[in-house]
Amino acid sequence: MYDVAIIGCGVIGAATAYELSRYNLRVVILEKENDVAMGTSRANSAIVHAGYDAQAGTLMARLNVEGNAMAGPLCEELDVPFKRIGSIVAAFDDFDEGVVQKLYERGMANGVPDLRIISAEETKALEPNIADNVRCSLYAPTAGVICPWEYTLAFAEVAVKNGAELKRKCEVTAIEKTEEGFCLSTNQGEICAKYVVNAAGVYSDKIHDMVLPHAFDLIPVSGQYDLLDKSEGSRCNTVVFQCPGLEGKGVLVSPTVHGNLIVGPSAEEVDRDDTATTAEVLTMVRNRAKRAVPSVDLRQCIRNFAGVRANSAVDDFLISRTENFVDLAGIKSPGLTAAPAIAKHAVELLKEAGIDLEEKENWDGKRVRIKFNEMNEEQRRALIEENPAYGRIICRCNTVTEGEILDCLHTPIPPVSVDGVKRRTGTGMGRCQGGFCGPRIVDILAREWGVSPVEIPQDRDEAYILTHETKMGN
């Protein structure tokens, strides 16, 4: 019998496991996919929002501002890429100016630090490529950009290192209330726990309904993006938002923490697992982006992707506790930002439910990984001398070495696919999108795992790259 079962290992489940791993508890995380961060947490704008969007007085407003403040020290401790580059919401007409004023007032009520409205001249000084007709903007220096999947992975790795169990490919299909807690039916058998945390993202309504009467509906809303090459990475200095208006939330143009430029998202109601992109929607996204940053060179697009928001009719997160069951449901944007604060809040809710929180003496929250491309010549030489695998560059776009790929195979949550390696080391994220390094990674994985290359999936199980061997010997 576990103390806590967490359903879902996106950023919310992972951050909750990380917080709970500080205590002497038996914690299990159940994730239906073959890796962590396979849902919304890997496909979003990757902005650490300042906190002026949410209505004052909501849980979302409080947890956004708290989560933003936590991101700096946490990313330092967890070795997660994060840059506090600030954001602007640019106004281009009378309507926009009214919106900027409202957002400013909301931000002040939410306690967003250093928020101010800046003139057209100041905006242009900050963002020389902004459209000439900019009137003013809301400047939030505390906003930042982060690597969302590494944030998720880092939380989960630290949790596992400190004793939490992660069961991948483990789908919860039913939950039964028992005298001592709950019994969860999964494709890996029955798993019992005294407390259950529902962090199932766009499926959190389904999990809720397995335990409690139906209380809310989720509305999955897709957001499609263009990701541009690093040659466009300095087109903007901050996250450039447009005003949310009658057409929906504005399209942003922003540097990513990896040095690319991201343009998007759109907003269309879809099925929960629909992460398709379409030419029609992307054309709309591109046209809107050009309204704010006309010179953006969209021919430099290296990838399109889409993520699905767990929206609901309520303008807040759907966080609540019923006895020993905690819902962390409907975690729409700014859920990535709020994740560490949501996790602390979840622990408080479990405490209210009577969980015994005895701190571990030897909890270790530190995570470090070797990043060859951030080292100077001297450090590189020393590393290669120690282990020649760091001298073999596998990903030429991002200068990722074989040594780093081998390292990630020995982390607390090793990858099981080529994209799993990508999320852990940055391979395949450059201009060639894995065209050059992909086959070499397949070879390394096949060699290290002692399997045939045809058994290596690209991402999800059975998404094989190679169908069969062509040279079967004589």
Which residues are known catalytic residues? Answer: 49
**Are the beta carbons of 18 and 155 closer than 8 angstroms?**
yes
**Are the beta carbons of 65 and 140 closer than 8 angstroms?**
no
User: In angstroms, what is the minimal distance from the CB of 457 to ligand FAD?
Assistant: 16
User: In angstroms, what is the minimal distance from the CB of 178 to ligand FAD?
Assistant: 19
User: In angstroms, what is the minimal distance from the CB of 239 to ligand FAD?
Assistant: 8
Contacts with ligand FAD by CB under 6 A lie at 7-13, 30-33, 38-41, 44-47, 49, 171-172, 199-203, 223, 265, 307-309, 331-337
CA torsion, ordered 21, 81, 148, 362, to nearest 10 deg: 0
The DSSP symbol for 143 reads -
CA torsion, ordered 147, 151, 152, 156, to nearest 10 deg: 150
**Are the beta carbons of 92 and 131 closer than 8 angstroms?**
yes
Residue among 88 and 405 whose Cβ is closer to ligand FAD: 88
Q: Are strands 239-242 and 87-91 parallel, antiparallel or unpaired?
A: parallel
Distance of alpha carbon 403 from alpha carbon 386, whole angstroms = 11
User: In angstroms, what is the minimal distance from the CB of 207 to ligand FAD?
Assistant: 6
Residue among 268 and 404 whose Cβ is closer to ligand FAD: 268
**Are the beta carbons of 210 and 228 closer than 8 angstroms?**
no
User: In angstroms, what is the minimal distance from the CB of 286 to ligand FAD?
Assistant: 16
**Are the beta carbons of 199 and 11 closer than 8 angstroms?**
no
Residue found under tokens 């001297």: 378
Residue among 44 and 300 whose Cβ is closer to ligand FAD: 44
Distance of alpha carbon 230 from alpha carbon 240, whole angstroms = 17
Beta bridge partners of 193: 2, 182
Q: Are strands 325-329 and 189-198 parallel, antiparallel or unpaired?
A: parallel
Residue among 44 and 137 whose Cβ is closer to ligand FAD: 44
SS3 label, residue 199: coil
Residue among 250 and 307 whose Cβ is closer to ligand FAD: 307
User: In angstroms, what is the minimal distance from the CB of 402 to ligand FAD?
Assistant: 29
Residue among 14 and 437 whose Cβ is closer to ligand FAD: 14
